[in-house]
Structure 1
Amino acid sequence: MTTAATTTGPVRQNTPPEERYAAELAFLAAHDTGARPPGWRLTPRAVVTFVMGSAGEALTLPAGAPAGGDVPGRMEIAPKFVGDRALVERCVITLAGERGLLLVGEPGTAKSMLSELLAAAVCGTGALTVQGTAGTTEDQLKYGWNYALLLAQGPSRRALVPSPVLSAMTSGAVARVEEITRCLPEVQDALVSLLSERRVAVPELAGTDDAHVHAAPGFTLIATANLRDKGVSEMSAALKRRFNFETIGPIADADAEVALVRRHSRAAVARSGAPYQVDDAVLEALVTAFRDLRDGRSAEGWDVERPSTVMSTAEAVAVAGSLALAAAYFPSERDVLTLLPGHLLGVVRKDEPADAARLRGYWDSVVRRRAEHGAATWRTLWDLRAALED
């Protein structure tokens, strides 16, 4: 059985999925030779397999598949997104219909990661991206100008500088707009005509063949929006109608969340060259605390006062990575578990300092009760209660 290998080259903090999983993408393109929507590199079924994995099974190339020299005959596809397969299938069908896809959810629920994976599988790149902010302009969604050429030669297609969205339109690719509700309403409105008419007018080139840039087959757009940003720049009804909405929720299965936190924190620490020394008991306690505080209810059914901050899986990965680095760079000074209360306190105080009292309340109720029931890890954490005092 063969697993996907990473590409060689300079070490980077974040390798795009089209490079990190290049072997998997090449294998899936050869494995599933069924019908593809216009401009797609993989079939819709292969896109779902790329995102969700092959369920631990090695796939085999069919006889006569057009494989290249670097494509193995068998490969297991690793899961990359932990969530509902039906949701991913709906996302893929939306893109196949060339309709806009809007992924909404709390921060840290892997909306951006899913959008990047989908774009990489569909068109080979997730880099055609606009980051939405209050300072994002309409030009960043449409086009700008090379002012040296503009002054020297006047308006021309050569002097036009396409936005990532315009580049996706002309190449029939997937564009991404991150945190769309952070863009001002007048900037968001630029997407209404773009998604309905599938073209961008260039008034400066009126009277020429380049006065309109038309979308090539396959072009579509994936946007993301955080539920915490609701009301920052509310989307208009006209723009909402141009998207299919899909809500990305927290990971439902505790074991799956522990596995994800382990995998991603281990990968982050590996980039630093440090050994990973956080055992499963610490990871389970970390993820359990995050889930209790996120849900407002412990696994045993005890009520928990929820902090105002989002106790996301992404934040849990960051804490697990910090614990691993502390163990690597300050070995033998203290047990890694003793560092957990301080890191949890740092997380809950990000949005509201008063949330520290809620964390202490969690310690005085859930952690204490678990300690009384004899759980060794939770007895140690209860003994560390003083670390939560200001």
Structure 2
Amino acid sequence: MTQQQIIKQSAEQRFQEELDILTQNDGGAAKPLGWVRSPKAVRQFILGNEQLKISRKFFGDDALVDRAIVTLLGKQGLMLVGEPGTAKSMLSELLAAAISDDSGLTIQGTAGTTEDHLKYSWNYALLLAEGPNEKSLVPSPVYQAMQQGKIIRFEEITRCPPEIQDVLVSLMSEKTMMIPELGQQGRVYAKAGFNIIATANLRDRGVHEMSSALKRRFNFETVKPIADAVFERELVFTQLQRELGDLSAQVSISESVIDLLVTIFQELRQGTTKDGTTLKTPDAVMSTAEAVNIAYAAALEGYYLGDQSLNAAAIAKQLIGVVLKDNPDDAKRMRFYMDNVARERAKQDATWKAFFDAGKTFWQ
């Protein structure tokens, strides 16, 4: 399979050239034991370096990135919390790629996650034939991260039952994993470089609350939505071009359409319009990531089914799939926005008129 056939490459694959540049220019910086690159190089990989032509990949609080790196230098794990779509998973992937050259050691937390997923399991055919040994043991991503001295990513940790979460308590405290079946040989010691980055959505609070013992093993950092509309517009435009890839040169992208999209998201997220009208915020996630998804879908519609442009009418259509997910009341809130905000703007602005005309019947 060629690289072009892969739908989504890992961070270390997508940015291999940049990682190589950082490695070549990382000789004089202090590098922690077990880290592939220095903390300075990790920071530059995530936040960019114009001189070295390293692109910025995380847009938000630079100080948060600094604190995250410092946390991973120490003994505690890093817990990234926030609303869905605030790039928590992306940040954890970038950190793992820059520190360990491997972002693939990952556990996806679900109600079905078991202790085996966190520690180890067995190849039962070999187990029956040869008994318990290293050959018949199937190591978990945590096991591999400890053995190799790498970062392990634990996505949606609060989706796991408490008794499964608490398996991490001893692993993070002792930095050792016991395998009783192997007797005296059954002990895995974590190598330098091992640490955990976990993520959790604030909307999942109460699903499976973390124990106090486990919370003490993590430093918590909150990843917040982007509040600056100008900055968010630039980000959506940049990310859209990246998602479109080779198609970006063939799709006409109007700045007024991007401005309309970001304005809608900003106002619905904050519960107020630019002119002070109070809105009820929808329960649906109105994140920057969702805005990029809408713009991307609308651009594809324009390229394959329309006039090869990103237009406001397509934005109105794609918005339905984001807002109408869980709460039927979100349709009422969106209808209020259309009738009282979009309608008035449509009287003076052609882009808003195209959006209103295309979307006014969707929210009945």
CA distance in 2, matches of 1:26, 1:284: 36
Q: How far apart are residue 271 of structure 1 and its match?
A: 6.6
> Which of 155, 158, 176 is residue 178 of structure 1 equivalent to?
155
Give yes or no for contact 1:345–1:359 (8 Å, CA) kept in 2: no
Q: How far apart are residue 102 of structure 1 and its match?
A: 0.4
Q: How far apart are residue 46 of structure 1 and its match?
A: 1.2
In structure 2, the CA distance between the partners of 1:81 and 1:160, relative to structure 1 (3 Å rule), is: same
CA distance in 2, matches of 1:352, 1:261: 26
Give yes or no for contact 2:299–2:310 (8 Å, CA) kept in 1: no
Give yes or no for contact 2:120–2:137 (8 Å, CA) kept in 1: yes
Give yes or no for contact 2:254–2:310 (8 Å, CA) kept in 1: no
Q: How far apart are residue 168 of structure 1 and its match?
A: 0.4
Q: Secondary structure at the match of 1:76?
A: coil
CA distance in 1, matches of 2:194, 2:310: 52
Q: How far apart are residue 114 of structure 1 and its match?
A: 0.2
Q: Secondary structure at the match of 1:298?
A: coil
TM score, norm. by length of structure 1: 0.88
In structure 2, the CA distance between the partners of 1:156 and 1:271, relative to structure 1 (3 Å rule), is: farther
Unaligned 5+ segments in structure 1 are 1-7, 59-74
Unaligned 5+ segments in structure 2 are none
Instruction: Note if 1:256 corresponds to 2:203.
Output: no
Q: How far apart are residue 27 of structure 1 and its match?
A: 1.2
Q: Secondary structure at the match of 1:101?
A: strand
Q: Which moved more, 1:356-365 or 1:112-121?
A: 356-365
Give yes or no for contact 1:104–1:248 (8 Å, CA) kept in 2: yes
Describe how 1:219-298 pairs up with structure 2 within 5 A: 219-270=194-245, 275-298=250-273
Q: Secondary structure at the match of 2:334?
A: helix
Tell me what 1:15 maps to: 9
Q: Secondary structure at the match of 2:243?
A: helix
Give yes or no for contact 1:109–1:313 (8 Å, CA) kept in 2: yes
Tell me what 1:100 maps to: 77
Paired residue type of 2:206: G
Instruction: Note if 1:37 corresponds to 2:32.
Output: yes
Tell me what 1:4 maps to: none
Instruction: Flag the structure with higher helix content.
Output: 2
CA RMSD, Structure 1 to Structure 2 (Å): 1.9
Tell me what 1:51 maps to: 46
Q: How far apart are residue 133 of structure 1 and its match?
A: 0.3
Give yes or no for contact 1:39–1:173 (8 Å, CA) kept in 2: yes
CA distance in 1, matches of 2:129, 2:268: 61
Tell me what 2:187 maps to: 212
Q: How far apart are residue 300 of structure 1 and its match?
A: 3.1
Give yes or no for contact 2:253–2:310 (8 Å, CA) kept in 1: no
Q: Secondary structure at the match of 1:86?
A: helix
CA distance in 2, matches of 1:295, 1:186: 37
TM score, norm. by length of structure 2: 0.94
Q: Which moved more, 1:189-198 or 1:28-37?
A: 28-37
Instruction: Note if 1:121 corresponds to 2:98.
Output: yes
For 1:94-119, what per-residue CA distance to the aligned partner results, in whole angstroms no more than 9, with x for missing partners?
00114200000011000000000000
Tell me what 2:352 maps to: 378
Q: Secondary structure at the match of 1:387?
A: coil
CA distance in 1, matches of 2:323, 2:278: 18
Q: Secondary structure at the match of 1:297?
A: coil
Taking every aligned residue pair, what percent have the same amino acid on both sides?
50
CA distance in 2, matches of 1:335, 1:194: 50
Q: How far apart are residue 384 of structure 1 and its match?
A: 4.0
> Which of 107, 120, 123 is residue 143 of structure 1 equivalent to?
120
